Amino acid sequence: MITVAVDLAERSYPAVVGAGARHRLAEVIPPGARRAAVVTQAGIGVAVDPGIEHQVFLMGSGETAKSLATVEELCRAFARWGLTRGDVVVAVGGGVVTDTAGFAAAVYHRGVTVVHVATTLLAQVDAAIGGKTGVNLAEGKNLVGAFWQPAAVLCDTEVLATLAPRERRSGQGEMAKYRFLGVDDLLALPIDEQVAACVRAKAAVVAADEHEGASGRRATLNYGHTLAHALETAGGYDLRHGEAVAIGLVFAAELAARLGRIGAARVAEHREVVEAYGLPSTLPAGVDTDELVRLVQRDKKAVAGPTFVLDGPRGVEVVAGVPVEAVAATLADLTPPSRSLSGEQCR
């Protein structure tokens, strides 16, 4: 078992990585908590025992469940059960669960303790770590939320064996991101060490810039996410989150090259890393690039025109005021050519 400390002074907490980590839940429940509200989804099927009186609260599946309506439903259910400010919420699931249950914990009674039991690769290497919680609006992803650090995160690599291959690859989209944030190649490592390396990288960034301050360091964790979130908000494309992030990484590299920040070799490296995980590197067929241009301008980082996290001479950093024309041209370059019917097919 590997324990990584997320160092936030008096609010520091452990992220425990390894097979069977979920069985450590009772050890990380805060002293004094009498009840635990266990928030999960019907299809997850991971049972936990917090060691105190508890009740399971089910939320819906998919991104549509990551909503203010779900937060209201959870908070009202907590109130009916009698959950107090001294109790604890336990989120058991992937990023949709940890983001939504974490936000519900942040606002219920103006904040109750939350513990995350991350059951997907994506949640273990990214979503459950760092205290970002939030839900979506029709206008965009994660536009409503709060910073609310958990008391602990349990990353049980044993449950990853139950993931469908595509769901596992989705998590690898977030892992690919860390390659450009200073983490060495992960593919040769055992899964526990892969997850722990990503957790260490994220923990270091969060400790240095918990609330996305002026340094912009925490925003670098959103590398590849501006376009990814636009694709997810647009909807209608068969993409998991990590697949969208993978496309976003290649797009960000191509955009950085167009702006003269990096060269062709660095762009090729982005493609190689993404494709090594079996992830897509081009936009879906039939994509509406005009809609994507509109959506990236609504991204939560956009404070002075289109804003992206881009690679460059100083490494990955936030770049504001990116010309819309450059965004549109780069999207056009990543759009697969339409397939026309051959003369033989037309007969």
Whole-number CA gyration radius for the chain: 20
The percent helix, strand, coil of the chain (3-state, each to 5) is 45, 20, 35
> Catalytic annotation on 142?
no
Residue 202 in tokens: 């994220």
Q: Band of the pLDDT at 304, cuts 50, 70, 90? A: low
Q: Which of 110, 211, 314, 347 is catalytic?
A: 110
For residue 250, the one-letter residue type is V
Give the pLDDT score at 343: 42
pTM over cut 0.85: yes
Please list the residues that pair with 39 across neighbouring strands: 57, 91
Per-position b or e across 34-65, b if 16+ CB within 10 A of its CB: ebbbbbbbeebebebebeeebeebbbbeebeb
Q: Which of 116, 218, 258, 300 is catalytic?
A: 218
Q: By mean pLDDT, which of 110-119, 165-174, 214-223 is the weakest?
A: 214-223
CA 53 – CA 49 distance, rounded (Å): 9
Give the pLDDT score at 345: 42
Q: Note the pLDDT tens digit of each residue in 177-189.
A: 999 999 988 988 9
> Catalytic annotation on 222?
yes
> Catalytic annotation on 141?
no
In the chain, the domains with their CATH numbers are 2-163 (3.40.50.1970), 218-333 (1.20.1090.10)
- Residue 88 confidence (pLDDT) above 80: yes
> Catalytic annotation on 110?
yes
Q: Which of 24, 116, 132, 270 is catalytic?
A: 132
Q: Which of 202, 240, 270, 301 is catalytic?
A: 202
Q: Note the pLDDT tens digit of each residue in 198-213.
A: 999 999 999 999 988 7
Q: What does the mean pLDDT of the chain come to?
A: 92
Does residue 339 or residue 153 have the better pLDDT? 153
DSSP E strands in 127-234: the ranges are 132-137, 140-147, 152-156
Q: Tally Cβ neighbours within 10 Å of residue 278.
A: 13
Q: What are the residues whose beta carbons fall under 8 Å from the beta carbon of 339, sequence distance 6 or more?
A: none
CA 88 – CA 32 distance, rounded (Å): 10
> Catalytic annotation on 241?
yes
Give the pLDDT score at 60: 95
